[in-house]
Structure 1
Amino acid sequence: MASTTLVAVGGKGTNPKTTLYVGGLEETVNEATLHAAFLPFGEIKEVNIPLDHATGTHRGFGFVEYEEKEDAAAAIDNMHNGELFGRVLKVNYAQPMKIKGGDKGWSHLPVWADTDRYIEEMDAENELEEHEKEQRKQAAKEAAAAATADGADQAMKEAAS
């Protein structure tokens, strides 16, 4: 009996999940290879393998977006823990990007959209700096008082001798 994967019809709003995360890619795998490996399961909208800007090579994972949610589910069923170029693949539904500024990112927000949070952070940072200054002043006063007390004790001992 073959095991199947539960198909989650999640995602944003009523849109089903059609984008898959494919991890564990061998370093010679490119977008064309990934497209060819996942094509048997349905019509593919897009294949993307993010590159590491420093090295110019990919980081061992990619994304495959299908036209239909059923095709994505079939690809997970058949390719998760499958092998490609000698490497075991991890295939799951891709998580939505967690970027600042909501779903569309910073470019779709007005310049002042994050002002309140910025001001709160700056106020908290300034308050922390003031608190640290006060602690340093207090420590310096205590050290000076201790030094004065030590000097007075030493003077009394010398006078008594």
Structure 2
Amino acid sequence: MATTLVAVGGKGTNPKTTLYVGGLEESVNEATLHAAFLPFGEIKEVNMPIDHATGTHRGFGFVEYEEKDDAAAAIDNMNNAELFGRVLKVNYAQPMKIKGGDKGWSHLPVWADTDKYIEELEAEKEMDEYEKEQRKAALVAKEAGAAVAAAAAAADEGGAKAS
């Protein structure tokens, strides 16, 4: 059997530990998927999205390993392997760009990021107040500089008249 060259790193600085497993047979469940991928390392999580219309999985799942080397070994050994008569397609899972980065928010309620949103609003408000104070301080300094210049000019003019 030919070996597959597997890149161990992911995009950016985050190592890839989550795998996409496609081509799953209908009777495969999370326990079966876990058991099939367990020989390659410690598994953090197994997830198989459910089709709400049929109540069954959608033919693919995700396996997340603790270590990136374990994920690479699983891809090397399980891509194009057979499970329950179906050929598997195994590769690194792509981050959910629209739904919130590497982990995604699809499994979280809508209000799950409320605290972060409120913190961002408060930080933005503080930054606006800081910039407003900076503009006010610059204006006061400019006015003070103009007043000092006017006083110096008046003093020069008064000194010129006295001589």
**TM-score between the two structures when normalised by the length of structure 2:** 0.61
Cα deviations by residue, 1:105-130 (Å, 9 ceiling, x for unpaired): 5753649x9xxxxxxxxxxxxxxxxx
Query: 2: distance between equivalents of 1:35 and 1:89?
Result: 14
Aligned to 2:43: 44
Aligned to 2:94: 95
Secondary structure, counterpart of 1:50 in structure 2: coil
Q: CA deviation at 1:81?
A: 0.4
Query: 2: distance between equivalents of 1:69 and 1:101?
Result: 21
Q: 1:90 to 1:100 in 2, by over 3 A?
A: closer
Aligned to 2:84: 85
Secondary structure, counterpart of 2:34 in structure 1: helix
Q: 1:8 to 1:102 in 2, by over 3 A?
A: closer
Contact 1:49/1:63 (8 A) holds in 2: yes
Cα deviations by residue, 1:21-64 (Å, 9 ceiling, x for unpaired): 00000000000000000000011010000101111000000000
Aligned to 1:146: none
Aligned to 1:9: 9
Contact 1:41/1:74 (8 A) holds in 2: yes
Aligned to 2:63: 64
Q: 1:6 to 1:33 in 2, by over 3 A?
A: same
Counterpart amino acid of 2:91?
Answer: N
Query: 1: distance between equivalents of 2:64 and 2:85?
Result: 23
Task: Structure 2 unaligned segments of length 5 or more: list them.
Answer: 122-163
Secondary structure, counterpart of 2:21 in structure 1: strand
Query: 1: distance between equivalents of 2:69 and 2:117?
Result: 38
Query: 2: distance between equivalents of 1:69 and 1:93?
Result: 10
Matches within 5 A, 1:141-152: none
Secondary structure, counterpart of 1:35 in structure 2: helix
Q: 1:102 to 1:74 in 2, by over 3 A?
A: closer
Q: 1:85 to 1:95 in 2, by over 3 A?
A: same
Query: 2: distance between equivalents of 1:78 and 1:63?
Result: 16
Query: 2: distance between equivalents of 1:89 and 1:36?
Result: 15
Q: CA deviation at 1:3?
A: 2.0
Aligned to 1:116: none
Residue 54 in structure 1 maps to residue 49 in structure 2: no
Query: 2: distance between equivalents of 1:79 and 1:47?
Result: 15
Identical aligned pairs, as a percentage? 78
